[in-house]
Structure 1
Amino acid sequence: MKLIPYLNFDGDCEAAFTFYEQVFGGKLGDKMIYKGSPMEADVPPEWHDKIMHTHLTIGDQEIMGSDAPPAYFKEPQGTEVTIQIDDPEKAEQIFRALAENGTVKMDIQETFWAKRFGMLTDQFGIPWMVNCDKAPEE
């Protein structure tokens, strides 16, 4: 079994996934747009070139996403995408990149459980947590 986060956007999925490709060093997969699909009639004409589905592969992990049709989009609530990373410097680098033009909820810092931990909502409205655990003996 594999759990894959699916992120919904209000029209900026392509920009978000291009940004995530740079931040995480992943590889964008194919993207499907509404135009020419069975969903074309369900979205306004200005939405035809928006993303109906795409995915980003990061090592052996994936995230998927789409531009939710206008009547269906809801801002994320009650959930965050968590990045678990072993390298504190890499954790800080990813946090700072994701925080660019976003909102930091808790700046990345050492906590009682982590070498580095931080929370933010990125410029696309997606909430993230970046965590770098301490070794059990620390």
Structure 2
Amino acid sequence: MAKMNPYLNFDGKAEEAFNFYKSVFGTEFDGPIHRIGDTPGLDGITEEEKKRVMHVSLPIGGGDVLMASDTVPSMGHKLVVGNNNYISLHPTSREEADKLFNGLSAGGDVEMPLAETFWGAYFGSFKDKFGVQWMINYQMDANN
């Protein structure tokens, strides 16, 4: 069965917020803070945007992980309260990822179709027909 983690979006404040959360939960980041500038193939983003957070994760206890990223305004991202939260599901197989993605996205709006990514995952995101935002992330390298 898939694991679920909250995923938050910020407008350039992800690192500040997560340093605060880290101090409250008393835990350490689960790996390095990945930057937008580390993403291959991004042209036309500003120097400030390159410093923004692409992904950060913080264990918060009980096996739960709080995750986040920053928006990239030059790519058309606009943070609006309500689109700053996702439910991030972590299935245990590619087949489960397909089932969850296809089922939950039916009648909704796909933001990013399921596809293999440069970070070793089979990933996609969408807003379901009720306006809830979801991410499906099957980490292939951890499950092969």
Q: TM-score, normalised by structure 2?
A: 0.49
For 1:52 and 1:11, the matched residues in 2 are separated by 10
Report what 2:5 is aligned to: 4
Q: 1:66 to 1:42 in 2, by over 3 A?
A: farther
Q: 1:61 to 1:11 in 2, by over 3 A?
A: same
Q: Aligned-residue CA RMSD in angstroms?
A: 2.4
Give the C-alpha shift of residue 42 in structure 1.
5.2
SS at the partner of 1:28? coil
Q: 1:80 to 1:52 in 2, by over 3 A?
A: closer
On the 8 A contact 2:9/2:84 being kept in 1, the answer is: no
Give the C-alpha shift of residue 77 in structure 1.
1.9
On the 8 A contact 2:10/2:71 being kept in 1, the answer is: yes
Note the alpha carbon deviations across 1:19-47, whole angstroms, 9 max, x for none.
00111222212211122322542532221
Structure 1 runs of 4+ off > 3 angstroms? Answer: 78-81
One-letter code aligned to 1:31: I
One-letter code aligned to 2:14: C
For 1:14 and 1:2, the matched residues in 2 are separated by 24
On the 8 A contact 2:35/2:53 being kept in 1, the answer is: yes
Q: Which has the larger radius of gyration?
A: 1
Report what 1:15 is aligned to: 16
One-letter code aligned to 1:19: F
Q: TM-score, normalised by structure 1?
A: 0.51
% identity of equivalent residues: 33
Q: Unaligned stretches of 5+ in structure 1? A: 82-138
On the 8 A contact 1:8/1:68 being kept in 2, the answer is: yes
One-letter code aligned to 1:12: K
